[in-house]
């Protein structure tokens, strides 16, 4: 209703009973948008409006003439009488129940939270109080819900913060552990090398001594049988023994080298560049052309999604996987290697599939561990390639795994960040 | 061929006695007949170079060549010794050949940063030493080929 309409209504009212202010008052009360009660000094209800009927669930004839306390929850009625008397003794316009939650009681016994404004009025029947009542149950409910939501938020926030702190701590622990492992590997590699140098060096000394001994024996004036006996020792037994020592030392040396390489893989600083991974794979294939052609390999390079990372490192990953595919080719068919890629869940995913001898079932879980070799008869190696590759991929922010290819052979898949890594990870 | 003045002294600094013995033998085998002094700790090496703690001062610094192991236990490792030698004006010009068990590129570059002259990776063989010494331009002043070595070389 706009102002004009309201004015019109008032005029209409005034016209219905001109000069009758009582009637005007009743009409105003009746049309108020909230519940109103007129209460006599003794607490009887003299007037109610439609909103009050609706709010309390009584018809007005059930209310008028009754004590106001019928609308007060039973437990509060006694106290309310005293409060009402107190107000009547010195009535002032004011909101009721400052600092307390007020409740009314409906006919059906349910209670309503409410706000009440009190205004003393003088009527023909004597001093009375006009009470304006607002149902605040919706607001209360909203408040309660808001409080609940706030509490939930606070709890979630707290949990998040705790989880975050835990992650930070775990990360610190992991990087400390990593550092420990790196320096352990580094130290072990150095310290293992030292005795090895002696084994190698003194074996060489023995070899040289044997040569001298042989010359000396040849000069000795001995019987042929004796010479032959000595020569057998000097030419065969000792060098044969040295051969085994040298082979073992050589193997030991390679393993230490591999360990060192692995430890360096963990330490190198990687770049975070946008990468044309297809170009990187292509370059890697070019560099390996000789090996792939010798093996008679047929290679298919598909479309590869771009990624973020370190070009050299990614090249190493491809080189290693391709090398593996050649190494473990099936003896009865030329190697076929298929390099492909796609984007899955915001990660660039690459696959290198071969038709080789595949991965033995028992090897699956240990495939990426250090010093694991599953086909020692097939190819020489230190059992370190895949372990190093796994480290590289993980340091670039990806993962690597392997599965059997449907028709024998294996598929290695690894992921890399497809989007620019955030400089400050969200916390 | 010995030079007319006092021969260069070779100071070998390595905590591993086996390595020291191999170095000594390989130097001889390579035809290096200069005096060889062997110490096993970084501190001892500096004491020798500076003539401290009752050790006779070495030959004049310019008549000294140091073969220095990087990884040594104790207060001074090879890098510390190298740093010290290269920071003192009196000893800065002493040629230092670093010996290590690793070919770690970062370690190599650290040695060169500190001013080492050459870097030899163990296992060390006569040939490696001769190469290193040649690269230092000291071949003539320290290497004298024994007759049978000359025969072998021919």
Q: Would you tell me how many other CB atoms lie within 10 Å of the CB of residue A3? A: 7
- Residues A112 and A56: their CA atoms lie apart, in Å, by 9
A264 interfaces chain B, CB cutoff of 8 Å: yes
Least confident of A54-58, A189-193, B95-99: A189-193
- Going by C-alpha positions, the residue among A339, A338, A326, A344 that lies closest to residue A380 is A326
Answer whether B22 sits within 8 Å of A260, measured CB to CB: no
Q: Where are the domains of chain B?
A: 9-153
The confidence score (pLDDT) of residue B56 equals 65
Instruction: Give the Cα-Cα-Cα angle A73, A49, A18 (nearest 5 degrees).
Output: 150
Answer whether B101 sits within 8 Å of A194, measured CB to CB: yes
- Chain A residue with CA closest to B99: the answer is A194
Residues of chain B contacting A191 with CB distance shorter than 8 Å: 71
Residues of chain A contacting B149 with CB distance shorter than 8 Å: none
Answer whether A197 sits within 8 Å of B104, measured CB to CB: no
Distance from CA of B1 to the nearest CA of A (A): 25
Structure confidence by residue, pLDDT tens digits, A304-339: 999 999 998 899 899 999 998 998 888 889 999 999
Q: Where are the domains of chain A?
A: 32-135, 142-267, 273-417
Structure confidence by residue, pLDDT tens digits, A100-134: 678 899 999 999 888 888 888 888 888 888 899 98
Structure confidence by residue, pLDDT tens digits, B24-72: 888 888 778 888 999 999 999 998 888 876 666 655 777 888 999 988 8
- The answer to whether B5 touches B62, Cβ cutoff 8 Å, is no
Tell me which of 3.40.50.12160, 2.60.40.10, 3.30.565.10, 3.40.50.2000 is the CATH number of domain A273-417. Answer: 3.30.565.10
- Chain A residue with CA closest to B24: the answer is A201
- Chain A residue with CA closest to B72: the answer is A191
Residues of chain A contacting B25 with CB distance shorter than 8 Å: 205
* Percentage with pLDDT > 70 across chain A: 89
Question: What angle, rounded to 10 degrees, do the helices at A21-31 and A3-16 form?
Answer: 140
For residues B145 and A180, the model is more confident at A180
The confidence score (pLDDT) of residue A268 equals 72
- Chain B residue with CA closest to A264: the answer is B104
Q: Name residue, tokens 């009887």.
A: A44
A200 interfaces chain B, CB cutoff of 8 Å: yes
A197 interfaces chain B, CB cutoff of 8 Å: yes
Fold type of domain A32-135: Beta-Lactamase (3.30.450)
Q: Long-range contacts made by residues A368-375, C-beta under 8 angstroms, separation at least 24?
A: A368/A400, A370/A259, A370/A262, A371/A255, A375/A328
ipTM attached to this prediction: 0.73
Answer whether A205 sits within 8 Å of B25, measured CB to CB: yes
CB neighbour class for A215 (10 Å; exposed up to 12, middle 13-18, buried from 19): exposed
Residues of chain A contacting B16 with CB distance shorter than 8 Å: 194, 197-198
Model confidence band, residue A341 (pLDDT cutoffs 50, 70, 90): very high
Q: Name residue, tokens 């599939």.
A: A353
Fold type of domain B9-153: Rossmann fold (3.40.50)
A54 interfaces chain B, CB cutoff of 8 Å: no
H/E run at residue A186: helix A137-219
Mean pLDDT of chain A: 84
Measure Cα distances from A356 to A45, A178, A400 in Å.
98, 35, 19
């Amino acid at each position: 209703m706009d102002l004009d309409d309201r004015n019109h209504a008032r005029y209409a009212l005034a016209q219905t009973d001109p000069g009758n202010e009582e009637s005007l008052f009743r009409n105003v009360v009746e049309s108020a948008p909230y519940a109103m009660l007129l209460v006599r000094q003794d607490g009887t209800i003299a007037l109610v409006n439609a909103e009050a009927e609706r709010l309390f669930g009584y018809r007005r004839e059930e209310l008028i003439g009754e004590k106001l306390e019928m609308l007060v929850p039973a437990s509060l009625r006694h106290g309310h009488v005293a409060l009402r008397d107190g107000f009547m003794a010195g009535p002032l316009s004011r909101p009721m129940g400052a600092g307390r939650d007020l409740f009314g009681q409906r006919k059906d016994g349910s209670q309503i939270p409410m706000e009440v404004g009190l205004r003393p009025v003088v009527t023909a029947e004597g001093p009375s109080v006009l009470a304006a009542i607002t149902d605040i149950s919706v607001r209360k409910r909203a408040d309660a819900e808001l409080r609940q939501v706030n509490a939930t938020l606070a709890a979630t926030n707290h949990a998040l913060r705790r989880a975050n702190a835990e992650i930070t701590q775990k990360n610190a622990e992991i990087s400390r552990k990593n550092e420990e492992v790196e320096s352990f590997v580094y130290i072990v590699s150095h310290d293992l090398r030292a005795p090895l140098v002696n084994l190698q060096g003194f074996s060489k000394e023995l070899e040289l001594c044997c040569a001298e001994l042989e010359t000396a024996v040849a000069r000795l004036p001995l019987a042929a049988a004796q010479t032959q006996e000595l020569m057998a020792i000097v030419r065969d037994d000792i060098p044969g023994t040295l051969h085994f020592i040298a082979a073992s030392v050589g193997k030991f040396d390679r393993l230490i080298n591999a360990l060192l390489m692995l430890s360096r893989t963990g330490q190198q600083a990687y770049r975070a560049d946008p990468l044309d991974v297809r170009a990187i794979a292509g370059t890697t294939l070019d560099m390996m052309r000789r090996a792939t052609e010798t093996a008679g390999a047929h290679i298919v390079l598909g479309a590869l999604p771009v990624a973020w990372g370190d070009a050299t490192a990614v090249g190493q990953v491809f080189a290693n996987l391709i090398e593996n595919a050649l190494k473990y080719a099936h003896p009865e068919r030329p190697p076929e290697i298929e390099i492909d890629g796609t984007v899955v869940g915001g990660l660039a995913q690459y696959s290198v599939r071969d038709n080789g001898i595949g991965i033995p079932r028992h090897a699956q879980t240990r495939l990426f561990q250090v010093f694991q070799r599953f086909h020692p008869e097939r190819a020489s190696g230190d059992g370190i390639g895949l372990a190093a590759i796994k480290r590289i991929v993980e340091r670039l922010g990806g993962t690597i795994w392997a599965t059997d290819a449907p028709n024998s052979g294996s598929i290695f898949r690894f992921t890399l960040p497809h989007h620019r890594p955030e400089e400050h990870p969200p916390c | 061929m010995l030079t007319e003045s006092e021969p260069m002294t070779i100071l070998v600094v390595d905590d591993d006695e086996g390595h020291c013995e191999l170095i000594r033998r390989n130097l001889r085998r390579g035809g290096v007949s200069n005096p060889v002094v062997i110490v096993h700790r970084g501190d001892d090496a500096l004491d020798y170079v500076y003539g401290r703690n009752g050790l006779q001062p070495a030959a004049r610094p310019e008549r000294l060549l140091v073969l220095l192991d990087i990884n040594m236990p104790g207060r001074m490792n090879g890098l510390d010794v190298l740093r010290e030698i290269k920071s003192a004006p009196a000893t800065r010009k002493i040629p230092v050949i670093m010996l290590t068990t690793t070919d770690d590129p970062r370690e190599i570059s650290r040695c060169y940063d500190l001013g080492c002259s050459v870097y030899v990776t163990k296992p060390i063989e006569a040939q490696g030493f001769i190469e290193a010494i040649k690269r230092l331009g000291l071949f003539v002043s320290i290497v004298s080929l024994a007759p049978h070595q000359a025969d072998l070389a021919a």
